[in-house]
Homo-oligomer: A and B are copies of this chain.
Amino acid sequence: MKTTEAQLIQKLRHAASKPGFKSGIALGIGDDAALFAPRVGYQTILTCDWFLEETHFVRRLHPPDSVGWKSLARAVSDIAAMGGQPRCFLLSLALPEDLTGRWLDEFLGGLRRASRKLHCVLAGGDTTRQKKILINITVVGEVRRNQAILRSGAKPGDLIYVSGRLGEADLGLQLLRRKTQIAKSDPALRKHLYPEPRLALAQWLAESRIPTAMMDLSDGLSTDLPRLCEASKAGAILEGFKIPKISVPKWSSRKTPDSLELALDGGDDYELLFTVPARKTNLLPRAFKGLPLTAIGKITAGRSIQLAQPDGKTKPLESAGWDPFRT
């Protein structure tokens, strides 16, 4: 039996039902558009993200539940990057006809879990049929006026911090690709499949007004740090040995991934990258709710981005993270 668009929308409407919190949605799925009631004293944050089969995920490798979770989580990470709170989202979904049954149900299951966990309600969207799975998610968030942390505020002398450990999600992807038996609970695999945007930390940082600039790490430190520096019209020096890396047990069959390479170039970590004036570093805890915060370098005058080696020498940092137009 074929699924009509109306039936598909009915499934989405069901997945959007009953958020257990005040969402701001005055009118949800089923009209020409959704209505959202913005809070007085807040700015609205707007972001959208592609999540496309073969580009961002692979049908035979990624469980539909993870595709649902991650499509929302990664878009919400851009709200975290501004120091904001997510409020609602629009889902644009294009699917092959034969995935409108079980695949869609599992996808919506993951999406719904993310929606509840991240306090971000499905408010509307658009659906159509395609050969490949196409997902686009727009997230609407809010931040108190003048409290958003931009990429552009870093000043020479500021220390560069990251949350968590870098490279873990990329290791998870490599484990998934190896197709050997991996425990579902493997932390690297979980970080790749079910990333958690650093909302609580980001909101605390925004309220504290400690950081001068902030962004999320989606494409890898070596690609994202230059973006922050570009926006701030500054350079940076990273100290490779300070970057919080993961330890990778030796692989038998292939070359074991290098921890530093993973940390510099691995994408999809959704950790926060932020800068703090030297005089304010003492206001920053070493960890926020168990999540380590680590100084990994310094913002510099000039525009070069350098990586300091263990021997004290520096070399230019090469951007080798994710750029769809560079491959």
Partner-B contacts on A (CB < 8 A): 2-8, 26-27, 30-38, 40, 42-50, 52, 55, 78-79, 81-82, 84, 88, 90, 92, 94, 97, 100, 123-130, 134, 136, 138, 140-141, 143, 145, 148, 150-152, 215-216, 231, 323-327
Number of copies: 2
Partner of A141, one of B33, B82, B216: B33
Q: Do residues A44 and B36 form an inter-chain contact, with CB atoms below 8 A?
A: yes
Partner of A323, one of B4, B123, B324: B4
* Chain B residues within 8 Å of A55, by CB: 94, 128-130
* Chain B residues within 8 Å of A48, by CB: 90, 92, 124-126, 136, 138
* Chain B residues within 8 Å of A43, by CB: 26, 35-38
Q: Do residues A151 and B326 form an inter-chain contact, with CB atoms below 8 A?
A: no
Chain B's nearest CB lies how many Å from the CB of A57?
A: 13
Of chain B, the residue at the smallest CB distance from A26 is B43
Of chain B, the residue at the smallest CB distance from A43 is B35
Q: Do residues B45 and A35 form an inter-chain contact, with CB atoms below 8 A?
A: yes
Q: Do residues B52 and A130 form an inter-chain contact, with CB atoms below 8 A?
A: yes
Partner of A2, one of B82, B130, B148, B325: B325
